[in-house]
Structure 1
Amino acid sequence: MKLIGAMISWKENFSVIAARARKIADSICKALSFNVVEGVIIPKRFLSITLGKGSVAAAYGMLFLSRPRIRGCKRYSFDGARYVQPENLASTISLAIDEFGARGAEIVIGIPREWVMIRSVELPAAVRDNVASAVAFELDRLTPLHPSEAMYDFMIRDEENNKLHILLMATRADILRPYLQALRGKGIEPSRIAPAVTGLGTLCSMIGDKDGSALCVSISDSGYEGCAMKKGAFVASFCGNFPGGDHEKNLSLVKEELTPFLEEFKGEGLAPIVFFNAAPGYTAPERIIGAPVRILNNESMKTMFKTDCDENNIEPLGGLLEALRTGTKRFDLAGKGREKTRKAPMAVTVVLLAFIAATLAVYVVAPVEMEKRRLQAIEYQIKALKGEVKKVEALKREAATIEAEIAQINEFKESRPMTLHVLRELTKVLPKSVWLVRSKITDEKVEIEGYASSATETLPKLEQSDLFKKAEFSSPTTRDTRQNVDRFAVRMEIEGYEKKK
């Protein structure tokens, strides 16, 4: 039991150390890849767009000298109480780009909260290094959507007890696809798409307490949406529709949404401010909410951001501030959880290239001159040795010719049997009482004529040889009565010889 407890304790300690190491590595990576040009020397511009019912709101600003600067806000109204159609949104953004002089700015689009599903989920800490793939694999379990029909993003809130606490946002791709097609038809490619409520949360956390904790509510004539921020991070969201026009009853519904968050914050020792951005007619909300309330209006916007953006443009202003805010994780539903590739800072590259060029200018000239002199000396030696080189080349050609002749002879020897080998084999296999008077050796056959005490004894001897086969008399044998011997003529084939085709 002690061993098991020690192993569990070691595993927990290792997880804590690994988490700290990842945070340190992330900090180092951010420091090394910090872009000292974009947003510092060169302004980085953003146009924030919020899609609403019967209207489109826009806010334009830039990050310059590492400070956010708000340049203006505007709301474009349309007839009807429905969400603006894709063609109208594309035309409005194109118009806003021209009016604000925002050509080349990054376009950030905030969509309605009711289009987005937001879930707090848990995954094993073991998937941290491949959490995007794990979320994609589990998406149809965590939400009603399959990854192929969803646009989603997530953020790891914290890690505890070997569990990753993740905030997941997802929407149906077929809802946004017509808008994206209409935008591309105008040559507009959004850099980020997120619920507008995340921008509202960013704005509230920036103007709230120092720890960035706040509750934010935006109320329209038809419904409400809001979010909870803890220490500057988006942690939860809510939304709903009003049953009627009774303002007090509507505020009571909002209170029911806020109460769990207020109790949770209170249990953690936090006292968040409730920020209200309400339609006309919602007065004195703190009486019903039962908590301190700060109204977001035109005066507060002018005081905080030195801009003419009024309460009708809170959400695009929040989306703009979220885009201008550096060093924070931003939701992008079009990214499907993938980290955007961080561009290498060009300023660092330029500085390094200038340093390298200066170094080359100072230290390269002398070594180059030395190498030139060495090359001249080598060329002189080459010219002096040209005669010897020609002799060596002639010897090489002669050696190659001899080698070719030797190879040709060896090939000839291997391709046909040697006469000497045949004669030696005949001498070996024929009895001593046999003598030959004639022999004819060709590539394939051997013909012999001679005398033997018994001609019939010669054929078996020849057949036993490994060199001959198919031995036979080529003519009838005759008896020489005077010498008392047989005269014979035999022909045979050479064993193992292959005809040339």
Structure 2
Amino acid sequence: MTGITDVKKITTAASDLGAKLYRIWGPIQRVLTFSPADEMIAPENNLSVSIDKGNISIAYGSRFLSKISIGGMKQYSFEEDIYPQPEDLLSSLSLAVNEFSISKADITLSIPKAWTIIRTVDFPSTVKENLPDVISYELDRLTPFSAAEAVFDFRVLEDNVDRVALLLMAAKTDQIRPYIDLLNENGFAVSKITVNLSAIGSLLRYMDKKSDALFVEIGIKGYEGGLFSNGLPAHNFSGTLTGLDEKTKIELICKDIKSLLNMSRNKGGTPRIFALFKDKSADLMGLLTSGLDMPVSVMGETDIRLNLPLPHMGMNAAAAGAVIQSLEPEANGLNLLKKGRHEKQKTPVALTILLMLTILSIWIFYLIAPLKIEEKRLQEISGQILLKKEEAKKVEALKKEAESISEKITAIDNFKHDRVMTMDVLRELTSILPKNAWLSRARIASSSVDIEGYAGKATELLPKLEASKYFRKVEFSSPIMRDTRMTAEKFNIKMEIEATKNNETENIKNEKK
């Protein structure tokens, strides 16, 4: 028993380690195999055309750095209850291209659900590796068309141990060919064909990626919808409403919806319900909500997280969904032109090789560079030591000379700070004397200053001079005289210069003596 327990522990540990390594390697592999043309960053434009009874809707969208924007949307009306003809499609597309000012864009054609066969089929899991060939071979059994006379595509819904469940969509080529041929003849190449219901599923998934969706489109004469799993219409329904009152209409619609709700809930799903009312009947909206007894998101009133050139209520869900399906890498949409054969994207290896060579070069440089650098530094240091011996002697001589010069500078600075400089005195006089006073003579001694000049009022000069930090004992050395010719008072003032710190110390010592 102990041996079995140890083996189980080792197996569990190895499994956990493998899972961790896979999680770590996943992002690394993504970087190493990343292509500049990756759909996540490569810009792309798309023009989607949705055909429906009585109208054609056209939407233009673009993708840049994974962000999708709708640049324009137009709807063209034709005879009611009749599908537009190829000529109508060509004229509508030409008008839209001119109005949107489009130079180049992939064109997606979204056809009505009534033109297609949509069904879920099961196959043994042994055919998983060759599904396109199997579908082509079995198509005449699964649908009224053979592979040669139909366009079709499929997606895997469930992949169990012994069975694989597929969603199959097919349409007769003869019904679509006139539209495609006429567009090709006039320079409009169709690169994708999808179905309106599938396009709406892509739009619903873009709106809410966390849960499944149950969609119903209600018109005056009928309704159709489906249960979408991962954006794919796994189950769909439809019915006619002609001649029924509103209560009976809602009962019929709610019956189909509740049937799919119960199916989804039995599998653990909680789908979100979306409804599109073509006639915008407020009564029908209220009756549907009360009949289901659960919230219903009404298309045109729900934020779809798209940059639209018009309010959401003016949006055609199928056309907008076809743009999303064509531009979003994770949309998982169907393209009937492919007939189930989708080319697997080749893993780019050029970038990986370049990165690995770069890493190898850096690693080699990382190993060798420090040794080379240190050897070079050692050689430089040895050479510098030889050169510095003579320079060291010169430095010693310069150091002694610098000390001598420093002593002289110190002596000069001491002399400067021990006495008040003449320039300082003149600068102080210039700043103190008012503008209407000027000097005719000035004598500056070591401890006193005598000035002679003229002023508008000489007595005002004494307080200003006394307030200076440079002067003390300011007084007139002679009486003030009025000079009528100069219209000013002539003055003679004498004053002592405030002593420096050294002089103050000496004066204090002398006073003590």
Q: State the 1:217 CA deviation.
A: 1.3
- Change beyond 3 A, Cα 1:39–1:129: closer
* Alignment gaps of 5+ in structure 1: 1-24, 360-501
Matches of 1:27 and 1:171 in 2, distance apart? 40
Contact 1:302 1:309 in 2 (8 A): no
User: Greater CA deviation, 311-320 or 38-47?
Assistant: 38-47
Letter in 2 for 1:237: N
Contact 2:206 2:304 in 1 (8 A): no
Q: State the 1:337 CA deviation.
A: 0.9
Contact 1:123 1:163 in 2 (8 A): yes
Letter in 2 for 1:58: I
> Which of residues 289, 292, 301 in structure 1 aligns to 2:292?
289
Corresponding residue for 1:327?
330
Equivalence map 1:251-330=2 (5 Å): 251-279=250-278, 280-281=280-281, 282-284=284-286, 285-297=288-300, 299-301=301-303, 305-311=307-313, 312-330=315-333
Letter in 1 for 2:258: T
Matches of 1:28 and 1:85 in 2, distance apart? 52
Q: State the 1:194 CA deviation.
A: 1.1
Matches of 2:351 and 2:124 in 1, distance apart? 40
**Percent identity among equivalent residues?**
31
Q: State the 1:134 CA deviation.
A: 0.5
Corresponding residue for 1:197?
197
Matches of 1:89 and 1:30 in 2, distance apart? 42
Matches of 2:251 and 2:31 in 1, distance apart? 47
Aligned partner of residue 157 in structure 2, secondary structure:
strand
Matches of 1:159 and 1:170 in 2, distance apart? 21
Q: State the 1:261 CA deviation.
A: 1.1
Matches of 1:207 and 1:192 in 2, distance apart? 22
User: Greater CA deviation, 243-252 or 131-140?
Assistant: 243-252
User: How many residues are treated as equivalent by the alignment?
Assistant: 330
Matches of 1:30 and 1:191 in 2, distance apart? 28
Corresponding residue for 1:74?
74
Aligned partner of residue 145 in structure 1, secondary structure:
coil
Corresponding residue for 2:103?
103
Corresponding residue for 2:152?
152
Question: Cα deviation per residue 1:64-98 (whole Å; 9 max; x = unaligned)?
Answer: 01211221211111233201101111221222222
Question: Cα deviation per residue 1:95-133 (whole Å; 9 max; x = unaligned)?
Answer: 222221233211111111111111111111111111100
User: Greater CA deviation, 245-254 or 324-333?
Assistant: 245-254
Letter in 2 for 1:141: R
Letter in 2 for 1:44: E
Letter in 1 for 2:205: S
Matches of 2:166 and 2:65 in 1, distance apart? 34
RMSD of equivalent CA atoms: 3.2
Corresponding residue for 2:43?
43
Question: Cα deviation per residue 1:129-184 (whole Å; 9 max; x = unaligned)?
Answer: 11100111111111121111211111111211311111111111111111111111
Contact 2:204 2:231 in 1 (8 A): no
Corresponding residue for 2:240?
241
Contact 1:38 1:44 in 2 (8 A): no
TM-score of the two chains, using structure 1 as the length reference: 0.60
Question: Cα deviation per residue 1:181-212 (whole Å; 9 max; x = unaligned)?
Answer: 1111211121111111112112222323x523
Aligned partner of residue 49 in structure 1, secondary structure:
strand
Equivalence map 1:20-419=2 (5 Å): 35-37=35-37, 42-208=42-208, 210-244=209-243, 246-279=245-278, 280-281=280-281, 282-284=284-286, 285-297=288-300, 299-301=301-303, 305-311=307-313, 312-340=315-343, 342=345
Matches of 1:168 and 1:343 in 2, distance apart? 26
Matches of 2:91 and 2:353 in 1, distance apart? 42
- Change beyond 3 A, Cα 1:176–1:28: farther
* Alignment gaps of 5+ in structure 2: 1-24, 362-513
Q: State the 1:351 CA deviation.
A: 11
TM-score of the two chains, using structure 2 as the length reference: 0.58
Q: State the 1:239 CA deviation.
A: 2.7
Matches of 2:206 and 2:93 in 1, distance apart? 27
Q: State the 1:276 CA deviation.
A: 0.6
- Change beyond 3 A, Cα 1:28–1:241: farther
Matches of 2:50 and 2:261 in 1, distance apart? 28
Letter in 1 for 2:63: L
Letter in 1 for 2:70: I
Matches of 1:193 and 1:345 in 2, distance apart? 28
Corresponding residue for 2:501?
none
Matches of 1:169 and 1:32 in 2, distance apart? 36
Letter in 1 for 2:103: R
